Structure 1
Amino acid sequence: MKTTQKLLLFFSITLFFINCSSKKSNVFQPKEVYQSKDLIITQVSQNAFVHTSFLQTQDFGNVPCNGLIVSNNNEAIVFDTPTNTKTSEELIKWITETQQSKINAVIPTHFHNDCLGGLTIFHSKNIPSYANFKTIEFAKNNNETLPQNSFNDSLVLNVGTEKIIAKFFGEGHTKDNIVGYFPSENVLFGGCLIKELKTTKGYLGDANTAEWSKTVEKIKKEYPNLKIVVPGHGETGNQKLLDYTIQLFKTKN
């Protein structure tokens, strides 16, 4: 082989490996950005962060509970509050001081305490709350703090130059469960409607197990390009979490 051909081959191989490594580096690697005794915050994409707090339960012990923060241009929207007032105040402080972002809204995804247990402190700081009208009805029946603004099927809010969508697809974990979607980064916050891989069905006291799979199938059809899926409890994943949840609750003929 001539020297010129060898050089061309060398540069071709070098460029190939540079391109491969640059593609790998473009894939965002989740990283923990904050941790205390009561709160963990994990960045899962450029502008999306999972907040995890803990709820002591009789049946399942001390349960880690996820919510999502979406931020853009020094603005943020929070899906689900941490489980209590103290941890919610800690989260608000991190967003406003460390991230230097104004919180435009907080959106509980259903009426259980692991979604709106810290709502009072958000209201005290003039952060507006939004929820499915059914969530407000059920929260009222349970003597919980009520979200301030209601919507029927879906809600679109701006966050910086981007937007989020909160939408009701049907019953499952509860009769009011919604999901949150961040289109610019294809991130879905499934809340307790979506299960982490290899987990059990969990608490079913307010569930509609007959409709659960159908509801998740609608989500999968609506958002076919999901890259990141955050469940209400457990590890973040991708579309496999939707498939797992569908199979877990699929009615056997």
Structure 2
Amino acid sequence: MKTLSRLLLLTIIPLLNLGCGSKKSEAFQSKEVYKSNDLIITQVSKNAFVHTSFLQTQDFGNVPCNGLIVSNNKETIIFDTPTSNTTSEELIKWISETQQAKINAIIPTHFHNDCLAGLTAFHNKNIPSYSYFKTIEFAKNNNETLPQNSFNDSLVLNVGNEQIIAKFFGEGHTKDNIVGYFPSENVLFGGCLIKELKATKGYLGDANTAEWSKTVEKIKKEYPNLKIVVPGHGDYGSTKLLDYTIKLFANK
């Protein structure tokens, strides 16, 4: 009996270790997959990548600016362009050559140049652009390159076998700020509407601070199962970024 018990124990222990190991392997570890002087690409989930480029500003110095790439079945959709046409061409090349994927659409999340300054590079490659209708109005007033297609409330586009949702929830950083959602991996691109943890309020020249918290509360209610939240500037994280932004702009 002692021999049998020992054999059973020796059999069970490796199985327990295997079980622990498989759980660890399920957690995705983010990793930097591309870096140059002007562009950094970080994989944050199986099919989502943050692209970061840089914008020299008078008030805040050289600011890192995020966008999101979502991918499925050799197709991609991008939220926000890099901060110049040259860096946008660099991003397009990486997706086309390294990922060997087609870009189905580029979606600026509001009219500031950290979202659409590289739009011409995408148009030159016959990549269609989409935005909230007010973004086109404001971009026109600023003499920016205009997105080609507009929507009034929300937009659903296919990317491979999955979908993305671009939606306007209300005013905040600007009167036209939208967010992008990738349901299959519960990834939200909040753009400049969402702040990284410990961030200041930042540029408020086009903001509606009275509505900002209410807008983010609507997003939190709409997408209760979010796993990853990517802000327009700074580090990505969990839904704590939504809570932090709500608190930052709460009416006191």
Which TM-score band applies after superposition, normalised by the shorter structure? over 0.9
CA RMSD of aligned residues (A): 1.1
Q: Find the aligned partners of 2:19 and 2:203 in 1 and give their Cα distance.
A: 47
Q: Find the aligned partners of 1:181 and 1:165 in 2 and give their Cα distance.
A: 5
Q: Paired residue for 1:139?
A: 139
Q: Find the aligned partners of 2:57 and 2:123 in 1 and give their Cα distance.
A: 26
Q: CA deviation at 1:10?
A: 4.2
Q: Paired residue for 1:70?
A: 70
Aligned partner letter, 2:159: V
Deviations 1:164-184 (A, max 9, x none): 000000111111000000001
- The unaligned stretches of length 5 or more in structure 1 are none
Runs of 4+ in 1 over 2 A off after TM superposition: 1-17
When residues 5 and 135 of structure 1 are mapped into structure 2, their CA distance, relative to the original with a 3 A threshold, is same
Partner of 2:164: helix, strand, or coil?
A: strand
Q: CA deviation at 1:199?
A: 1.1
Deviations 1:157-201 (A, max 9, x none): 001111100000011111100000000111100000111111111
Partner of 1:217: helix, strand, or coil?
A: helix
Q: Find the aligned partners of 1:5 and 1:241 in 2 and give their Cα distance.
A: 52
Q: Paired residue for 1:228?
A: 228
Q: Paired residue for 2:241?
A: 241
Deviations 1:89-139 (A, max 9, x none): 000011111111111100000000000000011111111000000100110
Aligned partner letter, 2:43: Q
Q: Find the aligned partners of 1:217 and 1:3 in 2 and give their Cα distance.
A: 62
1:193 equivalent in alignment to 2:193: yes
Q: Find the aligned partners of 1:15 and 1:114 in 2 and give their Cα distance.
A: 51
Q: Find the aligned partners of 1:55 and 1:239 in 2 and give their Cα distance.
A: 26
Alignment of 1:73-84 (within 5 A): 73-84=73-84
Q: Find the aligned partners of 2:2 and 2:167 in 1 and give their Cα distance.
A: 64
Q: Paired residue for 2:109?
A: 109
Q: CA deviation at 1:62?
A: 0.2
Q: Find the aligned partners of 2:96 and 2:176 in 1 and give their Cα distance.
A: 30
State how many pairs are aligned: 252
Q: Paired residue for 2:18?
A: 18
Partner of 2:165: helix, strand, or coil?
A: strand
Q: Find the aligned partners of 1:162 and 1:234 in 2 and give their Cα distance.
A: 27
Provide TM-score, normalisation by structure 2. Answer: 0.97
Aligned partner letter, 1:173: H
Q: Find the aligned partners of 1:239 and 1:147 in 2 and give their Cα distance.
A: 30
Aligned partner letter, 2:212: W
Aligned partner letter, 2:157: L
Alignment of 1:51-70 (within 5 A): 51-70=51-70
Q: Find the aligned partners of 2:225 and 2:178 in 1 and give their Cα distance.
A: 19
Q: CA deviation at 1:4?
A: 2.7
Q: Paired residue for 1:211?
A: 211
Q: Paired residue for 1:49?
A: 49
Deviations 1:208-248 (A, max 9, x none): 11111111111111111111111100011111111111111
- The unaligned stretches of length 5 or more in structure 2 are none
Provide TM-score, normalisation by structure 1. Answer: 0.97
